[in-house]
Amino acid sequence: MEVADISRYLFEFRPKDSFGEPSVTGLGNALSEVITISPEKLSDEIDQFQGTYYIYVYYILNSFRDAWKQKKELNWQKVLNFCWDYISMSSFGSNEHCLKNEGWGADSHWVVKSIADLIAEGTDQEHDGGMARHIGTYYLWGFETLEKNSLISLLIQKSDAEQIGQLINFIWKSDKYFHQLYDDDRARNEKRIFDLGEVIEKRFHDDESKGIQKLKSRLLTLMTFVSELKKENIQLIKNTVFSLEKDYESNWFLENLVRLKDKGDSAFVTYHIGDIILHSHISTPLPGFGQKEVYELVSFMYQQKDHKDIKDLADKICNKYAEQGHDFLNGLYNENN
């Protein structure tokens, strides 16, 4: 039987509330068996089931989850497209897709849970980040939002730090695509990227385990997309900068601060750069790491002659380095005091 024939039968079948009659459970089990045997073929043509009843979508998605668990191949892009299109229907959440007399009371929540379970299984089993790439692409292109029960929200809530790290890595590697966008599109994408970063950081905010600290340091790679420091992104940077462990990570971070120091609101940017340097691990480096960048940043802070609070921060940074035996800022301090 062709996939189109199966789909048509699902749409036309009307269960009867009487013993011994064909049931939705029996039909659902048969559908699951077909999908488990040939998941790649069924996933290639999954769009044939668009708009079908909640109960059958529940069976379909759970069957793909089980097939993937058995390490069988399927077309993830087609399956995720189906999920996105299905939950994006204007009728999704209404009773229109509830099947009368199906015996279980399946509704839209069943479908959302099945999608979440499928995503969790997909990210748990994959090794190449395919799931993260597909969903990350939808998000960057504006087909996905961070609303509750969206694919990317389910991915963030259901996945562990390593899997979410795959999503961050994918977005970080999309910088070539990002920088080819027109200014307006680039600004929109920059906001989307940092909104995503904030959602991820919020989930793991109070977790100080080593694996989560590594994830938070990955979040800082999103600075690649920052055009200027402003209130919309500075808090995420401050919340994650403490996760930097390696001196080369701090050096990369400082290079980005230098890149951004004279962009945007000068007083706002300079103050927060100083605050970050003073209160993060950057102010306790090994000799040689980041000294050139720190010198340039503190020098820029001293140039803000009309802002005593910024000069005070610069003085504190100089004194902190000096107390640790690093004298490379001493001349700068003496010139400005």
Q: For 162, how many CA atoms within 13 A lie in the half-sphere containing its CB?
A: 7
- Mean of pLDDT values over 47-60: 95
Average pLDDT score, the chain: 87
User: Quick check: 43 pLDDT over 90?
Assistant: yes
Tens digit of pLDDT for each residue in 105-154? 999 989 988 887 887 676 666 555 667 777 887 788 787 889 888 889 98
Number of Cβ within a 10 Å radius of residue 318: 25
Tens digit of pLDDT for each residue in 262-284? 999 999 999 999 999 988 876 55
Alpha helices in the chain (DSSP H): 3-12, 24-37, 39-44, 54-69, 76-87, 108-125, 130-140, 151-158, 161-172, 175-179, 183-203, 210-219, 231-240, 247-260, 266-279, 291-302, 308-323, 330-335
User: Quick check: 18 pLDDT over 60?
Assistant: no
Residue 52 has a pLDDT of: 94
Tens digit of pLDDT for each residue in 92-101? 989 999 998 8
Tens digit of pLDDT for each residue in 283-325? 555 556 688 999 999 999 999 989 999 999 999 999 999 998 8
Domain residue extents for the chain:
3-238, 244-337
Residue 126 has a pLDDT of: 55
User: Quick check: 209 pLDDT over 80?
Assistant: yes
**The tokens of 72 are what?**
């069988």
User: Quick check: 207 pLDDT over 60?
Assistant: yes
Percent of the chain with pLDDT over 70: 92
Percent of the chain with pLDDT over 90: 50
**Is 0.85 topped by the overall pTM?**
no
The band of 244, judged by pLDDT with boundaries at 50, 70 and 90, is confident
Q: Is residue 241 within 8 Å of 283, Cβ to Cβ?
A: no
- Mean of pLDDT values over 322-332: 92
